[in-house]
Chain A
Amino acid sequence: MAMNGTPHPLLVHRLPQPNYIDFVRWVPPLSALDRLVAAAVFDSSSSTSALQILSLTQTQTQTHPADLTLQSSWPSPSRITALSLSLLRHKPLLAAATADGSIHLIAADPVDLGVDSVGSGAIHAGPVSGIDLVEGGSEIVSVGDDGRVNLVSLSESRLSHRRVFDGNGLVGFAAAKWASPAEFATGGLGFGVQCVDNRKPGGPVSQFRGNWARGTSSGIVHSIDIHPSRKHTVIAGGSSGTVFAWDLRWQQQPIILSGVATGEAQAHSPLESEVWEVRYDNYMHSLNIGNISSSRILPVMTCSEDGILAVVEQDEEPIELLAEPCAINSFDIDGQNPSDVICSLEWESIAILSRP
Chain B
Amino acid sequence: MPDLVSDSGQSSVVPLSPDSQTPVVCPLHHGLKPPISRLSLSWSRGNSLRVSVFRKPAEDGEVGGKVVEVKLGDGDGEIGDAQWRRIAYGSVSPFALLQSRKNSMLSMSRVSASSSPYGAEWWDYVMEYSREINFLLGGQKLPPSSVIEDPKTVLKDYDSLLSGTQPTVHSKLLNFEKELVGLQAIEEDAKYWEAISSALAVGWLDIAVKMLRLHGSYQLDQLGSRELENGLVEAVAVLISKMPRMRPGLAPGKLGECYKTKPDFIKAWETWRAQITKLDCSAFWVQCDHRQTREGLKNLLQIMLGNANILSSATCHWIELHISHLLYIRPFTMGLESMYSLAQKCMQLKPMSSPHKLMRLLLGILGENIEVVLAECSRSFGPWIVAHAVELLTAGSTQADILLHEERYNLGGISMEELHRLVYAQVLSSHALTWQAWDLEVSSLIRSQVRNLIAPIYLTSCMKQGMGLLEILLYKQPVQHNKILLKNIEICRLYELDNVRSKMTKIAGVHQWKHGKKGSGVFWLQQARDEVRLNRIAQQLFDFVGKSISDESFKQWEGLIELLGSETRTAGGLEFLHKYRDFKRSLQQVHDGIATAAAQKAAESLILLMKNPSTPHRFWLPLLYDSKDFSFSLVRIWIGELSPEHKIVTHWYSFAIKGRDLSTTANPTILDPSKKSDPMLDNDREVLSGFTSPRPVTFVRLRRSPSCCQGSVLSLLFPRPSTSSPLDNRAHSMANTSQTLDLEGLHCEMHGIAEKIRIMNVNNVRLIQHLTTNNPPPPPTTPVLDVERSRCPQRSGDDESQSHRSFSDTLKGSARSWFIKLSPGTIDSFGDLSWLFVVNFMSCKFNQAVLEVKEPSDEVVIMAMMVGLRLGPLFDSLSKNVPETMSTLQSKADKYIAAEELTEAK
Residues of A within 8 A of B (CB): 16, 18-20, 42, 44-49, 78-79, 98-100, 126-127, 129, 145-147, 167-172, 174, 189-190, 212-213, 215-216, 218, 220, 239, 272-274, 305-306, 325-327, 346-349
Using known A-B contacts A172-B523, A215-B526, determine if residue A348 contacts B89 with beta carbons closer than 8 Å: yes
Q: Which residue of the partner chain, among B68, B86, B446, B490, contacts A99 with CB atoms under 8 Å?
A: B446
Q: List CB contacts (< 8 Å) of B633-663 with chain A.
A: none
Which residues of chain A are within 8 angstroms of B451 by Cβ–Cβ distance? 44
CA distance A129 to B519 in the complex (A): 15
Set A16, A78, A218, A305: member contacting B487, Cβ < 8 A? A305
Beta-carbon contact of B517 and A146 below 8 Å: yes
Given A79-B444, A99-B442, A325-B96, CB of A145 within 8 Å of CB of B89 = no
A16-B86 contact given A100-B441, A213-B567, CB 8 Å threshold: yes
* A20 close to B450 (CB less than 8 A): yes
A47 CA to B518 CA in the complex, in Å?
A: 30
Note all chain B residues with C-beta closer than 8 A to A274: 486-487, 490
Within 8 Å by CB of A167, from B86, B482, B519, lies B519
Pairwise interchain contact A170-B82, C-beta atoms closer than 8 A: no
Please choose the segment from B153-161, B290-298, B556-564 that sits at the chain A interface, where 4 or more of its residues have CB less than 8 A away: B556-564
A44 in complex: contacting residue of B89, B447, B518, CB < 8 Å = B447
Residues of the B chain whose Cβ atoms lie less than 8 Å from the Cβ of A99: 441-443, 446
B527: CB under 8 A from chain A? yes
Known: A127-B481, A172-B520, A273-B493. A49 touches B443 (CB 8 A): yes
Instruction: Please report the C-alpha to C-alpha distance between residue A139 and residue B321 in the assembled complex, in whole angstroms.
Output: 74
* Residues A170 and B563 in contact, CB atoms below 8 Å apart: yes
Residues from chain B with Cβ under 8 Å of A327 in the complex: 453, 487, 490
Interface check B824, CB cutoff 8 A: no
Check A168–B556 contact: CB distance below 8 A: yes
Q: Given the known inter-chain contacts A20-B450, A44-B447, A189-B523, please indicate yes or no for A145 contacting B482, CB distance below 8 A.
A: yes
Contact of B143 with A by CB under 8 A = no
Task: Give which listed residue, B85, B443, B482, contacts A220 with CB less than 8 A.
Answer: B482
Q: A42-B446, A213-B565, A220-B482 are known contacts. Are A170 and B559 too (CB-CB below 8 A)?
A: yes
| 4 tightest A-B CB contacts, nearest first | A79-B443, A347-B89, A18-B82, A45-B81
For this complex, 24 residue pairs linking A to B, each with C-beta atoms less than 8 Å apart, are A18-B80, A42-B447, A44-B447, A47-B68, A98-B443, A126-B442, A146-B517, A167-B519, A168-B559, A171-B559, A172-B519, A172-B520, A213-B566, A215-B527, A215-B565, A218-B526, A239-B486, A273-B493, A325-B92, A325-B93, A325-B96, A327-B487, A327-B490, A348-B89
In the complex the two chains form, is A47's CB within 8 Å of B444's CB? Answer: yes
Which among B454, B520, B566 has the greatest number of chain A C-beta atoms within 10 A? B520
Contacts of B523 in A (CB 8 A): 172, 189-190, 218, 220
User: How far apart are the CA atoms of A79 and B481 in the complex, in Å?
Assistant: 12
Report B510-527 residues with CB < 8 Å from chain A CB.
516-520, 523, 526-527
Whether A170 lies near B560 (C-beta < 8 A) is: yes
Complex CA–CA separation, A16 to B376 (angstroms): 30
Q: CB of B105 within 8 A of chain A?
A: no
Report A322 CB to chain B, min CB distance, Å.
14
Q: Mark B564-576, 1 if CB is under 8 A from A, else 0.
A: 0111000000000
Task: Answer whether residue B770 sits at the interface, using C-beta atoms and an 8 A cutoff.
Answer: no
A148 to chain B, nearest CB (A): 11
| Set of chain B residues within 8 Å of A168, measured between Cβ atoms | 555-556, 559
6 additional A-B residue pairs with CB within 8 Å, beyond A42-B446, A218-B526: A20-B447, A167-B519, A190-B519, A212-B565, A213-B567, A272-B493
Chain B residues within 8 Å of A220, by CB: 482, 486, 523
Interface of B is mostly: helix
Q: Check B413 for interface membership: any CB of A closer than 8 A.
A: no
Which residues of A lie under 8 Å from residue B503 when comparing CB positions?
none
Q: Name the A residues within 8 Å of B565 (CB-CB).
A: 212-213, 215
Shortest Cβ distance from B431 into A: residue: A44
Q: Is the CB of B490 within 8 A of A305?
A: yes
Asked if A78 contacts B443 (CB within 8 A), the reply is yes
Q: Are A169 and B516 in contact (CB under 8 A)?
A: yes
- A293 to B296 alpha-carbon distance, docked (Å): 89
Asked if residues A147 and B89 are in contact (CB atoms below 8 Å), the reply is no
Per the 8 Å Cβ criterion, residues 2-19 of B in contact with A are: none
Query: Contact at B443–A189, with CB atoms within 8 Å?
Result: no
| Closest chain B CB from A143 CB (angstroms) | 13
Indicate if B57 sits at the interface (CB-CB under 8 A). no
The answer, yes or no, to whether B49 is at the interface (CB within 8 Å) is no
CA distance A47 to B441 in the complex (A): 11
Q: Check if A171 sits within 8 Å of B519, measured CB to CB.
A: yes
Kindly provide the distance from the CB of B69 to the nearest chain A CB, expressed in whole angstroms. Answer: 9
- Give, as a whole number of angstroms, the nearest-CB distance from A258 to chain B: 16
Bound complex: CA A127 to CA B441 (Å)? 10
CA of A170 to CA of B81 in the docked complex: distance in angstroms?
41
Q: How far is the CA of A332 from the CA of B442 in the complex (A)?
A: 26
Contact B447 A47 (CB under 8 A): yes
Residues in B neighbouring A171, C-beta threshold 8 A: 519, 559
Query: Which residues of chain B come closer than 8 Å to A44, judged between CB atoms?
Result: 81, 85, 432, 447, 450-451
Which residues of A have CB within 8 Å of B82?
18-19, 45, 348
Contact in complex: B443, A147 (CB < 8 Å):
no
The residues of B that contact A16 with a CB separation of less than 8 Å are: 86, 89
CB of A308, distance to nearest CB on chain B (Å): 12
Q: Please, which residues of chain B bring their CB within 8 A of the CB of A218?
A: 523, 526-527
| B residues in contact with A215, CB < 8 Å | 526-527, 529, 565, 567
